[in-house]
Amino acid sequence: MSPTLVRGRRALPVAAALALLTAAALTTSTPSARGEESLATSSPTGPMELPAEWMTAQRLSDGSTNLSAARYAKARGEANQLAARTRSVYRHLADRDWRFFGPSNIGGRVVDIAVDPQVANQVFVAAASGGIWRSADAGATFEAAWPDGGTQSMGAVAMTSDGVLFAGTGEAQPGGGSITFGGDGVYRSRDRGRTWQRVGLENSHAIARFAIDPDNQDRIFAAAAGNLFVPGGERGVYLSEDGGDTWRQALAPPNATTGATEVVIDPQNPNRVYAALWDHLREPHQRTYGGPGSSLWRSDDGGRNWRRMTNGLPTDADQGRWGLALAPSNPERLYAYVGTALGPFRAFYRSDDGGDTWTQTPVNANQASQSTFSWWFGKLFVDPADADHVFLTGVNLRRSTDGAQSFGNVGGVHADQHVVRWDPKVPGRAYLGNDGGFYRSESNGVSGWVKSTYEPYTQFYTVDVAETDPALKVGGAQDNGCNRGYTGVGGPWTAIGCGDGLQVIIHPENPNIVFGCSQYGSCYRSENAGAAPRQSIGPGQTTSERRNWLTPLQFDPSDPNVMYYAGNVVNRSTDNGRTWTAISPDLTGGGPNDPSGYPWGTITTIAAAPTDGDKLYVGTDDGRLWWTDDLGATWSRVDPAQLPGTWVTRVAVHPTDANIAYATFSAFRSGSDRAHVMMTRDGGRTWTDIGRGLPDAPVNSVVPTSDGLLLVGTDVGVFVSAWNGGEWAALGAELPAAAVMYLRYHEPSRQLTAATFGRGVYDLTVPRCPAASTGLPLREPGAGVVGVLASCRAA
């Protein structure tokens, strides 16, 4: 059947969905004016997936529907075991530390903020896939307050009046990629983030918000959103009455696909508690972002009993995510808004009697600035000193001074707003978290927003280094564009265009020539290190019907003037990206005519052989591998029976032998024989699984070195083996447990650079392993490779 969207529980065909979404055009040219806004899953130019769907589709490309934190917990456990073995057997590999390179000034998605009620200028933030961070200077700079080895996915953070900190893991927003990794419960710190203890709700997957009783700090509510991909589990509103030691469900959702996204306590009457529930589920071919479970609730007895608020509110099934807020200075005043199940803003409501009755306000979609994805925000914030002063999250930050009768735009900040908090110790001081990071205003949020100068939790898709100097780096970041780091370790990075930043590469001989790509292959060529003027590369200059969220753009290592770009067709340039010629047919099996509606049918990776300019390898999102020996005159497809059939994340060719190539795959094995890393020794004709021994987690990148090592980046770390696999070891220490999306190896300096999704960019010096550098072992894969890694100890 065709891919579908849903309105409530009713499937909506993509063609109809696209017609509905046409009117919801983007209203901003900020970095959020990108493919993320659309709910469509296909279009004439490519799969209109969100960043999270790009992440999700890879990891579920084995056909499963279960993307749970348990899978990642198992994989992390396997990674930890491999790291422990490496420390025991291959100390020289384990002792090498990863070094943070940057960026420190770009930032990334901040989903929640906790203001320390006792310590001046101290705030804590939850980074979407970067852990918890502490600032001692009112957000000017941050330091890590979360273990590097713990899950990095975050949804909420809160602090009691006596300084006990709570962190809810798992992002509740279903976009931006972070939701893919999920959380593993609620954590508590009694020493302001120095040490942490998990205290429950391990099966909640995502915690959206905390609320603490101001009269009894041991009474803590948690809004558990649940697993977006799997019904059931720990969902709804939970209550702890012993400071987090134990939790019980206070408000059960009406069905297995509904979770809680907001919980609010009346500060003058803590027995009165409000909650927002959201009915949502993501399946391989459709999304349900609303339904009968989406609703607002109130308890008047401390959470023991609840009633749904309906007087003046909609009761039909076309309700998406609700935003809910209470005015602290007048707790009878409540504000709420809701989106439709498809995503556009629907309506705004106000109550002046504690939720007994509600009135729809004049706020419209333009004032709300929700675009077509109200489910990405779902938050409202009211000035603690002024019940009429309201902030509404959206692509832009909106502010009302008349009790939500009208809203105006607040400028000067990055797009996509998620949280506003006020510092009770400093009148007029407000904090803001959005997709660009952390901001502070000393004018009550009206203006004067100042961005943090040190917030190293950027979500990177790719990274590249200059061959002329590995200290020169560029990278593509989720919702933070293409960026250039040419100022050395720890130095500031410079934005160099793009919406979402995807593939970014540096000319091998001239670091002033930089190519940057936004989503769906909208790329540019710059001869000013990424700055303007820029020449466009993309749909207007290249041939393809469909382009992936991350469209591959690569140099031919044998000739820096030759480049490759691919949507569903491979394009080649011989003049350094100025003009392009198609050199392949459609190499995929997907697209609009695919009866299954999945996969989308795009090329995901290209690799040219360094020793043979006529030899190319190509991988696709529907698990196909191809090679050509004659520069595209003829293409040969690898027998599907040899391959796992899952998303091909990367192909790489051996530096000294065009017949040796490697392919990596996403998805989980889930007990099957599906491979994560495969190798060919005969130019692509036959492939062998050489990834056994790696953690069962998606592999995102592979690098063969000229002296016989093989390096892979995965969702749970970086690992090394000999050229033909066999035995694997963890490489290095001090790398945070964020997914490693991309590896770039600089052969002359032996520097390996890793792009992480949530903790920035890291470097490590790869050891020399004499047994590998003597030549390629004439053994079958997996045989006799122990000596290769052991030789690294004496290097």
Q: Is the model's pLDDT at 12 over the cut of 50?
A: no
* Through-space distance between the first and last CA atoms of the chain, rounded to whole angstroms: 57
The answer to whether residue 497 scores a pLDDT higher than 50 is yes
Residue 633's Cα: distance from chain center in Å? 38
pTM score of the predicted model: 0.92
566: β partners: 570
Of 560, 574, 662, 672, nearest to 619 by C-alpha is 662
**What would the pLDDT profile of 439-490 be if each residue is shown by its tens digit?**
999 999 999 999 999 999 999 999 999 999 999 999 999 999 999 999 989 8
Q: Are 641 and 608 in contact (CB under 8 A)?
A: no
Mean per-residue pLDDT for 613-617? 97
Name the phi and psi angles at 318, rounded to 5.
-85, 60
Lowest mean pLDDT among 281-285, 587-591, 702-706, 755-759: 281-285
CB 116 within 8 A of CB 133: no
Q: Which of 314-328, 384-398, 669-683, 697-711 has the lowest mean pLDDT?
A: 669-683
Confidence at 659, pLDDT banded by 50, 70, 90 = very high
User: What are φ and ψ of residue 505, in 5° steps?
Assistant: -140, 155
With left for phi above 0 and alpha for psi between -120 and 50, is residue 535 left, alpha or beta? beta
pLDDT in tens, 116-148: 999 999 999 999 999 999 999 999 999 999 999
3-state secondary structure of 89: helix
Q: What is the DSSP string of 371-400?
A: TT-GGGT--EEE-TT-TT-EEE-SSSEEEE
Nearest to 666 by CA among 605, 616, 756, 582: 605
Point out which residues pair with 608 in neighbouring strands: 616
Pair of tokens at residue 391: 């902030």
Across the range 528-548, mean pLDDT stands at: 96
Mean pLDDT within 729-757: 97
- Looking at every residue in the chain, the average pLDDT score rounds to 89
- In terms of Cβ atoms closer than 10 Å to its own Cβ (0-12, 13-18, 19+), residue 79 is buried
Distance CA 304, CA 296 (A): 16
pLDDT in tens, 46-104: 333 567 778 888 888 877 777 777 788 888 999 999 999 998 888 888 889 999 999 99
Among 568, 582, 653, smallest CA distance to 617 is for 653
Is residue 632 within 8 A of residue 587, CB to CB? The reply is no
Counting Cα atoms < 13 Å in the Cβ hemisphere of 49 gives 27
**Do 359 and 344 meet the contact criterion of CB atoms below 8 Å apart?**
no
Phi, psi of 70 (to 5 degrees): -65, -35
